[in-house]
Structure 1
Amino acid sequence: MDANQQRFWMMADPLRHWEPLLDKDGHSNVHRDSSRRTVRLASAPGDFHWDEPADAAGQAEAELLVQQTPGTFDAFGTWAYLDAQQGAIMAAGADAEPLGLLSFDPGNPLSLPSDLVLGNDDVLYVADGGGKVLLKDLRNRWAPATVSVEDFQAWRLAPAPTGGVFAIPRPTSFSPASPARVRLARVSGLPLHRDVLRERAPTVFRPQEEDTDPPRMSLVLDAPPLPGEVLVGLATSPEGRLALLSWVYDAASAGASGNDARIRFFTGNGLTTPITLLRARRPISFAWLSADRLVVLLRTSTPSIIAVAYALEDVPSAAPLGDYYPLTSYAAGPLLHGLTAPPHYPTQDGAPAPLHPISLPSFATTGSMRNQTGAGTPLIDGGSARAIWHRLYLEACIPPRCGIRVFLAATSTPQRPLDDEPSAWHEHVFGDVAPASTALHVPRGVWLPTPSELPFHSGLMTEAPEPERRGLFTVLVQRAGLRVRTLQGRYLWVRVQLVGDGRSTPELFALRAHGPRFSYAENYLPELYREQLFGPDADAKGTSTPADFLERFLGLAEGILTPLEDRIASASLLTDPRTVPEESLEWLAAWLGVSFDPALSREQRRQMLEAAPAIRPWRGTLRGLSLALDALTGGAVSQGGLVIVEEFRLRRTFSTILGIDLSDDEDPLLPGLHQSGNSFVGDTLFLGDERRKEFLALFGEDLPKTAAEEAAVEEFFNQQAHRVTVLVHQDFDAQEFGLIQRVAEQEAPAHVSLAVKLASQPLMVGVASLVGLDTYLGPTSRPQPMRVGRNALGSKNLIERPPSLDPRLHAGG
C-alpha cells in the first residue's frame, strides 16, 4: 500500500497474467516472451507471400522430398550423410575427401538407411532399411549393434535428452484409406565395453548379468489413429521437448478447417492437442530454433524451397514469423539432425551451413490481449462495489510510430463484459497512436523520470529509461466523454492493444492498477465540492461536471505528492542491506565499520553487510570466522562446502597424551556420535620407537624428563596449537578461492596460523566424513579434457577420443 492506503495489482508475468486474443483467422498477433518477461507484437511475414502446389504433381513431389535421408552434424564441425550411389554412410569435415563409416547394399534401395542421428550419448543411431536401428559408438568402445521391436519399421529418429533416440514407423501411404495407429518407440541402453567382455580366468568373479542396461527398443506410445493425418517427422528441442509433425490429407476427418500441417508434443504418456502451422501444408523437414520456435522447409510453386519459422505457444494455431532465413547454395535436402542450435542445411559445396535469420524485423501491426482469469490468477478485486479505480502505471518501451491502447472496464460482479460492448470499455492511450474510440478527451499517458512509482524500486525493465520512449508511464483512470468520468466497480478488467508500424513493436514489461482512489476532494474539502450527479445521468455523454473536473485536477497534485510521501514512509529501506541502493552500500557499511574487498560482487556485499551485526560480537573467534565465510559463500560452511578444522583435533592420540576427553557428541569431527573419541593402549594407541622422544616423554607426569625431552614436548605442542585449516570442497574458481583466503585472513584471530586448502574430494575420511555435518554429496562431474600442468590424469580428467562423426579428427583415425 502507498501512503494513502491504496493497493496496486500488477500484471507482469506474460504467461500467467496475459491471455492473447485471437484475430479473425484464429491466431494471435501477440508474443509472450517468457525469457524477457515481456509482451510484444508477434513477428509476421508482412508482404512476403508464397504458395505451395496443391495439385497431384505437387503432392507427389512433396512425398519424394520428405522421404530423403537427413544427415547429422556434431559440435566439432564434422558431419555424416548417406551416399545412395555407394550405399554407404560417409563422414566428412576432417579431411578434403569423405570417409566411409558404414556400408549397405547399393543395389537394394530398401536396405539403405532412412535416417541417421547423433545422440546425446555420443552414439550414431541409424535407421536401416530393414526397420531396425543400428548403434555405432563414435569412440569405438564396442562393436556396432542393432535393436528392433516386433512389427515396427523404424523410419524417422530424434535424439532423446538422456541418451538413445525416439523413432516413428514408416507410413504405408501418405494418404491411406485407413489411418495407422500412432506408435512411438524408444531406443535406450548401450553395449558393454570391449575390455569388460574379454576372457578372464575361471576364478575371477563375473556377475550373472554382465550388462544391466543392454541396448533395446521398446514402444513408449501405442495410441489410436489420427483421423485424416499421417506422421512425417519428429524432432527434439535442446531442452528435450519432443515434437511430432503430421500432414493433414483429409481435413474433414481431422476436424480441421484446412490442410495445414500440425505439430503435437509427446508428454510421456500421450500427445498434446495439435497446433496448426498456418500456410504450411506439406513441410518436408523441420527442426527446433529455440525452446519455443521451430523452422520448417516448404516447397513453393516457384518451384523453390523456403525456410519458415513459427513460434509455438499455447494456442490452437501458429502463424508464420517475419524472420527471413535465406538458404544460400541450398542442395535441396532435409535439415540435418544436430544437438545444438542453430539447425544446419545441406549445401552444394558439401559442408552444411547454419540457418541464420537476416536482421530485418517484421512484426504484426496490431495485437490484443486481456488480463487472464482462472486458477492461479486472482481477479482484480477492489473489495467494494463503490471502489473507484485510480491510476495506471506501465513499464514499457514504445518506439516512434508505435503505441499501446489500454481499455478498462469495472463491474460489480466477477463477470467480464463482452469485448464488443463499447460502452463498457474505456480507452487510455500511450505513445504515438491515435485513440481507437470516438470519445472526446481520451486520456493519454505521460512518461515519468523515475524507474518505478514504488519507493526506491529499480523497476522491472533491464534497459535504461529514455524520455517519452522507454521507462515508466502513468495515466489517471477515466471514462472519456462522460459527465462523471470516475470508473467505479468492484472488479477491474483490462484489455490491451499493442500497435506497431510493421518494423517496430511496443514492449510491455508490467502494468499496475492502483485503487481504490484516495480522493483529495472527499478527504480534505467540504462536501460542497463533492459529486452530486449519479446513476444514468452520470453515465451520459457530455462535458464533465465541475466536481468531476476538480477531482481530476486535484489528481495532478496527488500524483506528485503521493510518491514523495511514499519515499518518506519507506526511508527505512535505505538502511536495509537487502534494499539499499547499490551506490549507498559503502556508506551503509561505514556505519558498522565494515570494509569490502574490491573483488566482492554486489550480492556478496549485501550478504556480508546483512551478516555484519551477527559477525561483529564474535570477530576474532572460530565462530566469527565461520559466520563470515558462510555469508561470503552463500552458505557453503553450513552446507559442508567449506570445513573449518582446528588442527589439534586431527590427532586422536591427544586424548591419551593429554588426558582430554574427546567423546564430544556434538562435534562432527570426533567419533563421539558412535563411540568414544578417547584412545586406549593396544587399541587406538600403539607405543612407538623409543627414539621418538616427543612420544616417550608424554606418558606419565612422574617419568623423569631431561631438558631435551621437555623441549621436545613443548615443540610438539607448539606445532599443533593455534592452527586452523579451511578445507574448500566446493568448486570455486581462482578468483573466488583467493577471495576466501583474504576474508579468512581478515576474520581469523591474530594469534592463529591460518591455512586455506583446496580439498580434492568432497568426502575425506577422518576429516570430513559425516554427510550433512562436515561434508556434502555433490553431483558426479563428467570427465573433462586433460590439461598439462593443471589436471590429474585418471581422477577427474581423462584422455579420450573426441566423439566426432569423422574419426580422422582424432589423430591416427
Structure 2
Amino acid sequence: MDANRLRFWMLSQLNDWLPPWRARTAYVTGQGIVDSNGNIQIVQTQTGKPPGQSDAAPPTWNPSMGQTTKDGTIVWMNSGPGVWGPGQAFAVGQYITDSNQNLQCVSQVIGNATTGAAQPSWPVAINQTVADNNVTWTCAGPSQAGLSYCNQNHRLELRSVRTGKAPAEDYNAATVLVGTVPMALDQFGTYARWDQSSGIIYAGGAGPGSGSSAAPPPDEVPIYAPPQHTVTDMAMGYDGIFYIAVGGALILSDRRNRWSDFTLTVPDFNFWRLAALPEGGVLALDSRNNQLGTVSGQPLQTGPVDQPDPGILRSCHPNPDPPRIVSRFALPAGEHFVALAPLDPTQQPAQFVLLSWASDSATNQTAWVRIFSGTAFTGTPFTGTPLQLEGVRLPYAIAGLGDQKLAAFVTNYNEALIYDLSNAGNALVPAGETYILGSNAAGNGGPFVHGFSLPPNYANVAGAMPVMLPLLPLSLNSLAASGATIAAGPAIVDSGAAQSIWHRMFLEAIIPARCGAIVWLAASDTQSDLFSPSCTWYPHIFGSASLSSIPTAMLADTPSAVWQSIPTEVAFAPTLLGEDPIANQQGLFMVLIQRANKAVRNLAGRYLGVRIQVNGDGRNTPEIAGLRAYASRFSYVQNYLPEIYREAKFGPAADADGPSTRRDFFERFLDLFESQFTRIEDRVANAYLLMRAESVPDGSLDWLGSWIGIQPDSYPPDRLRARIEATPYLYRWRGTAQGITKALDVATNGMASRGAIIVIENFRLRHLFATILGADLSIRDNPLLPGYSASSNSIVGDTLFLGDPRIQAELQALYATNLKIPGSAQAVQSFYDQFANRITVFVHNQVENVNLNLVKAIVEEEKPAHVQASVLIATQPLMIGLASLLGVNTYLGPDPPRNTATVGVSDVGRYDVVTHMPALDPRMENGASYIEYDRPIARIKAPIAVKPGDPILLDGSASSKSPGATITSYVWTMLEPPA
C-alpha cells in the first residue's frame, strides 16, 4: 500500500485550519483562504486554464461581504462569516454564524436570493439543509473559532476561552493607573519603589522585615531623590545600571558605584516608559511624541585624573560609547500609548509589547498591542493592522507570561486577562486561564513590576503588604465546548491515482473521558468537488464525540475508531504524540474508512478531503498529534477469493442510500483480519530499520555498536548514533591525526570543527626549525599553516623565506646557541626525535563545556599504540608567546563571561572580577544588616469526612512562626497529585 501521511503541521496554524493566502499558489474554484482581515475568501472565478494562480504580492482585500478582489488570474469573493438579516441578499458560498454558533453556508439561491422575514430553524447536523425564502442554507458544523493548534506540543486542541461578562471599565481609574509609576525588581530579589508623597525612591528587600513577602512594616532605605521633578518610570538594567525616567530625562544610576549619576537629556525625546534590553541599555517610550528609542552606552568610570603628554596622540572623544539614543521608531500619531513591557525575557532576540488605546477618551472602544523585536515590529507589519485586544476597552498594564502569552489588567476586575499570540489572527480573544489577583489588589491592582524572571509580579495596593505579588494561575481550565473546520478549507491528500479506494485511517491523539472527535471525509477525482457546498461528507467517530452534527440517516452506520495497543502503525518509527499508550484514552486509534448509509461503503477518488470536529466538557480537550490515511486498499477478496465473493454493484446502484450489500459487508469483515496481517508484514518488511544507525531505537544502539567493536556506554545516546554512522569514514583514517579529529568531532557534536578541540602532531610545533633544516611542510591540512605552501621548505607568514642555503645558514647561526644544533646528522635526528610519535590535544573549555574524560577516552582508543598522547586545557583564548599558533591555542569565539569573584574558587587575574553587587538595595552586600529568620511552617487541619456536595473547610491557624514574628496572611496553593 502507498502510505499517504497527513500531519497537522501540514495544515494552517493561522485562524485554526483555514489556510492564509499564499503567493504564486494554484487555487481552484470554491477553494477558500482567510485574508489579513480575518474574512473567508472563496475563489469565485479564474481566467485561463484551471487552476488559477495568485499574484506575487497580496491584494488589497475588499472587507465587505459579497464583494470581490482580483488577484493574479483569480477573483476572490468575501464570504464572511456574516450575520443573518431579514430580506438580505446572499450569494452561493457565503457563510454566516447562526444562533447556535454553527456556520451555515449558502448552497443554492433562486430569484433575488433574499432571506425571509424571520430566521429559519437552523439545522445542527452537517450537510443538512434548510430553506430560507429564496436561499438554501447547508450546515457546515460548529464555528472553527473553538480550535487551536498548540505550537509547543504540536497538537490540535480546543481553544482556551474565557467565559463571563466583559468587565465594567472606568476611564478615570484607568487613567490614574496608567500614570502610576511601576516598581523595579532586580536579580537578587530587592526592589525599588517611587514614593510620590516624599519625592524619594526607596529600596527594600535586603534589610530585616523586608522583601516581597515580608510582614509590615518594610525596612526600606532611600536611594534617589530627583530635584523638583516627577518620576514616571524606573527599570533595573541587565548591565547593572538603574534607569530612571524623570521629567522627560533619563537618569543612569550605576548600582556598582563606578560613576556618579548621569543625566541623559534629548530635546525632542521625552522619556516616559522604560524596558531593559538584554544586551544592555533600555528601550524607551515617548508617549508625548509617539516614538520609541533605544538607549545604549555608559559614562566613563570614575578614576584617577589622567594628565596626558601633549605629544601623545589621543582621541578627541575619550568615551567611545557614551549614553545616547542609537535608534528611533515612529509610532502612529493618533493612538494613545499606555504601556511597554518585555514579551519574554528568555527569548532571543528579545521581544517587547506595546499597549495603546485608539483614543484617550472615555468613549474609547479599542485597545491594540504591537510586538517589537528590538530592531523592527514583527507579526503583522507595523504599517498595517496591529493586534486588537477583544473584550476590553481601557487596559492599563500588560506583561509577558512566556510561551507567547500576555497578561493585561483592566479596572474593576479582580483577575488578569490572558491572550495567546501563538495562533492569533488580527484579533486576540481572551483565553480561559484563570489568574486571580490577590485579595488586597482585587479590582485595580498593579501596575506590573519591571523584573527579569517569570512569573511577573504586580504592585499591591498602596499600604498593603506584601508590597508586590506574583501573578500565578489557578489550576482551572476554561475551554471551548467544540470546534470544527469548515468546508471552504479542508485538508487535501493526493493518492496519485484516480479511483483510489481509501482504506484505513489512524489518529495519534489523547482523548479524555467525555471528549471526542469526528473526522469527516470526502473523496473525488476532481479536487474542486471537495470545496463545493453540495459535497457529501462521511463521519468517523473517535471517543465520546457529540453526535448532533451527524445526519440521522448516517448515525446508525457511522464507524467508530478503536484504540490500538501499539504506539504507531508505522513499523519502528517514533510517534508524533510522544506519550505512552493508555487504553481507550491515549495513543493510536484506528478506523476503517467507509461511507455510512450507502449500499457499497468504499470511499473512492484520487483526492481525499479531511475535516475534523472536536468536542470537550469545558475542562478537558482532545489533543490530536497526527492523522494518517492509507490508499489504495489491498483487497483480500479481489486477490485471494473467487469472483463470486466480489462486489457486483457499481455506479448509482452502489451510491444508493440504505444498508450495505452482503458482499460489501464480507469485504469489510475480512479487513479485520487484514489489519493484523498487515501489521506483521510491515514489521517484517521494515526490520532493516533496526540495523540502521539513523533509525535504530536508543535502547538498541549498544547492541548495534557491538557489531563493529564500539564499546557500550562509551558515548551518550545521540553521539553513539552519530559514531555508528561515521564508522566507515573513521576506519579509513583510523590511527591518523585526521581520524582522531573526526572521532572527537563526532563525540562532542562538532567541537573540533568549531575550534574548541585541536589535535596537533608535536613535530609540527617545530615548524620554524623544520624550515631551516629543509623539512617538507607542503601539507594542506597543517593547522599551523592555513592554506597550501608551494615551496617544500618555506615559512608562510608575513615574510616568505624560500629554501636558499645561504638563508638557512644564517638562520642556523642565529639559533645555534640556544638550540645547540651541531653539524652532524645524528644530532639533528636526535632533535627531531624529541617531537616524533607524539600528539597534543588542546581543549578550550573556557568558552564551551567539554567532557575531558570523554576526550581522553577517545584519544586513547583512536591513537596508534606507539604514539604518546597528552590532553591539555587551553585556559586562555589567547596566550602571548604562542600567538603564532592561531587556531591551536587561540580560539576565536564569544568573550567569556565576567563573573563575580568567589572566595576560595576564583583565581586572581583570570576571568572573575571583584565588583559591587548590582542590587537596588545597597544593604544586599552588607552582612551586618542581614538577619536570617526561621521560615513559618504551614500546618493544615482538615475534616475527616464531608458529605457529598458540602464544601471542604481547611484551617491553617495551627501554622507556626518564628519568635517575634506575626502571620498576617495565608496563601493557598492547589498542588498536582503525585504521579
Alignment TM class, shorter chain as reference? 0.7 to 0.9
Aligned to 2:660: 544
1:648 aligns with 2:645: no
CA distance in 2, matches of 1:767, 1:784: 26
Correspondence 1:102 to 2:224: yes
CA contact (8 A) 1:135 1:144 kept: yes
Change (3 A) 1:272 1:394: farther
Q: How does 1:194-205 map to 2 (within 5 A)?
A: 194-195=302-303, 198-205=306-313
Aligned amino acid, residue 5 of structure 2: F
How do 1:58-207 residues align onto structure 2 when only pairs under 5 Å count?
A: 58-96=170-208, 97-105=219-227, 111-129=229-247, 131-170=248-287, 182-195=290-303, 198-207=306-315
Of 311-320 and 501-510, the range deviating more from structure 2: 311-320
**Secondary structure of the residue that 1:508 maps to in structure 2?**
strand
- Percent identical among aligned pairs is 37
Q: Give me the whole-angstrom Cα distance separating, in 2, the residues matched to 1:372 and 1:744.
A: 62
* Whole-angstrom distance in 1 between the partners of 2:361 and 2:220: 45
Distance 1:369 1:655 in 2: 75
Partner residue in 1 for 2:538? 426
CA 15–8 in structure 1, closer or farther in 2 if over 3 Å, else same: closer
Distance 1:9-1:381 versus aligned 2 partners, 3 A rule: same
Is the contact made by 1:20 and 1:28 (CA closer than 8 Å) also made in structure 2?
Answer: no
Using the alignment, how far apart are the partners of 1:666 and 1:676 within structure 2?
A: 21
Q: What secondary structure, in the 3-state scheme, does the structure 2 residue paired with 1:281 have? A: coil
CA RMSD of aligned residues (A): 3.6
Counterpart CA distance in 2 for 1:630 and 1:527 is 63
Q: Does 1:209 align with 2:317?
A: yes
Change over 3 Å in CA distance of 1:159–1:638 after alignment to 2:
closer
Report how far residue 615 of structure 1 moved.
Answer: 2.8
Aligned match of 2:353: 243
Q: Contact between 2:760 and 2:783, CA under 8 Å: does it hold in 1? A: no
Aligned length: 764
CA contact (8 A) 2:146 2:483 kept: yes
1:739 has 2:854 as partner: yes
Distance 2:852 2:517 in 1: 50
Determine the C-alpha separation between the residues in 1 that align with 2:892 and 2:336. Answer: 48
Partner residue, 2:155 = 38
Q: Is the 8 A contact 1:265 1:272 kept in 2?
A: no
- Using a 3 Å threshold, how does the CA distance of structure 1 residues 429 and 698 change in structure 2: closer, same or farther? farther
The Cα of 1:328 is off from its aligned counterpart by 2.7
Aligned residue for 1:194, secondary structure, equals coil
Matched, 1:748 2:858: no
* 1:757 positional shift: 0.9
Query: 1:9 matched to which residue of 2?
Result: 6
Residue equivalent to 1:494: 610
1:668 aligned counterpart, secondary structure: coil
Cα distance change, pair 700–218 in 1 and its aligned pair in 2 (3 A): closer
Q: Give the 3 Å change call, closer, same or farther, for CA 223–527 of structure 1 in structure 2.
A: farther
Whether contact under 8 Å (2:241, 2:254) holds in the other structure is: yes
Structure 2: distance between partners of 1:735 and 1:628:
14
User: Which deviates more from structure 2 when the two are superposed, residues 77-86 or residues 458-467?
Assistant: 458-467
What TM-score does the superposition give when structure 2 sets the normalisation length? 0.71
User: Structure 1 residues 509, 290: closer, same or farther in 2, change over 3 A?
Assistant: same
1:263 and 2:369 matched: yes
Contact 1:299 1:306 in 2 (8 A): no
Give the drift of 1:235: 1.6
Task: Summarize the Cα distance change of 1:638–1:697 in structure 2 as closer, same or farther, 3 Å threshold.
Answer: same
Which protein has greater RCO, CA pairs closer than 8 Å, 6+ apart? Answer: 1
Identify the residue that residue 327 of structure 1 maps to in structure 2: 437
Q: Which amino acid aligns with 1:221?
A: F
2:409 matched to 1:291?
Answer: no
**d(CA) in 2 for partners of 1:197, 1:359:** 61
Which residue number corresponds to residue 727 of structure 1?
842
Q: Structure 1 248/654 Cα, relative in aligned 2: closer, same or farther at 3 Å?
A: closer
The offset of 1:613, in angstroms, is 3.1
TM-score, reference length from structure 1:
0.85
Which amino acid letter does the alignment assign opposite residue 102 of structure 1? Y
Q: Which amino acid aligns with 1:86?
A: S
Q: 2:555 matched to 1:449?
A: no
Task: Report the alpha carbon displacement of residue 62 of structure 1 after superposing the two structures with TM.
Answer: 2.0
Q: Please name the residue that 2:970 is paired with.
A: none
Deviation at 1:459, TM superposition (A): 0.8
CA contact (8 A) 2:562 2:590 kept: yes
Q: Residue 602 of structure 1: CA displacement?
A: 0.6
Q: Deviations over 1:228-251 (max 9, x none)?
A: x53221222123222222234599
Match of 1:707 in 2: none
Q: Per the alignment, in what secondary structure is the counterpart of residue 782 of structure 1?
A: coil
Q: Determine the structure 2 residue equivalent to 1:362.
A: 478
Whichever residue aligns with residue 155 of structure 2, its letter is: T
Q: Kindly provide the amino acid, as one letter, of the partner of residue 135 in structure 1.
A: L
Quick one: structure 1 residues 296 and 665, their matched pair in 2 at CA, closer, same or farther if it must change by over 3 Å? Answer: closer
The 8 Å contact of residues 395 and 473 in structure 1, kept in 2 or not, is answered as yes
Q: How does 1:665-744 map to 2 (within 5 A)?
A: 666-670=781-785, 673=789, 674=796, 675=800, 680-683=808-811, 686-689=814-817, 696=820, 698-701=822-825, 719-730=834-845, 736-744=851-859
> 1:338-391: CA deviations, max 9, x gaps?
2321110123224422211122333222233479979xxx95223344233222
How far has the Cα of 1:658 moved from its partner?
6.0
Instruction: Answer yes or no: is the 8 Å Cα contact 2:275–2:341 preserved in 1.
Output: yes
The residue type equivalent to 1:128 in the other structure is: V
Q: Quote the offset at 1:28 in angstroms.
A: 3.0
Aligned with 2:153: secondary structure?
coil
Return the letter of the residue paired with 2:741: S
Name the SS for the 2:435 alignment partner. Answer: coil
Cα deviations by residue, 1:430-481 (Å, 9 ceiling, x for unpaired): 1122433032321111111222221211212232111211111121222222
Correspondence 1:361-760 to 2 at 5 A: 361-369=477-485, 379-415=492-528, 417=530, 421=533, 424-435=536-547, 436-437=549-550, 438=552, 439=554, 440-525=556-641, 528-596=644-712, 598=713, 600-652=715-767, 654-655=769-770, 660-662=775-777, 664=779, 666-670=781-785, 673=789, 674=796, 675=800, 680-683=808-811, 686-689=814-817, 696=820, 698-701=822-825, 719-730=834-845, 736-760=851-875
Give 1:311's match in structure 2, choosing from 411, 415, 420.
Answer: 420
Once the two structures are TM-superposed, the CA of residue 103 in structure 1 deviates from its matched residue by 1.0
Name the residue aligned to 1:177: none
What is the match of residue 231 of structure 1? Answer: 337
Residues 431-440 or 289-298, more deviating: 431-440
Amino acid across the alignment from 2:456: P
| Per-residue deviation, 1:293 | 0.6
1:8 counterpart SS class: strand
Unaligned segments of structure 2, at least 5 residues = 19-80, 82-96, 103-142, 209-218, 790-795, 930-979
Q: Secondary structure at the match of 1:720?
A: coil
SS in 1 for 2:206: coil
- Bigger shift: residues 644-653 or 527-536: 527-536
Match of 2:146 in 1: 29
Whole-angstrom CA distance in 2 between matches of 1:17 and 1:684: 74
Could you give the per-residue CA deviations for residues 661-681 of structure 1, whole angstroms, max 9, x where no partner exists?
Answer: 345455232487424597834
Instruction: Flag structure 1 segments of 5+ consecutive residues without an equivalent.
Output: 172-180, 702-709
User: What SS does the aligned partner of 1:497 have?
Assistant: strand
Aligned partners of 2:504 and 2:883: how far apart in 1?
59
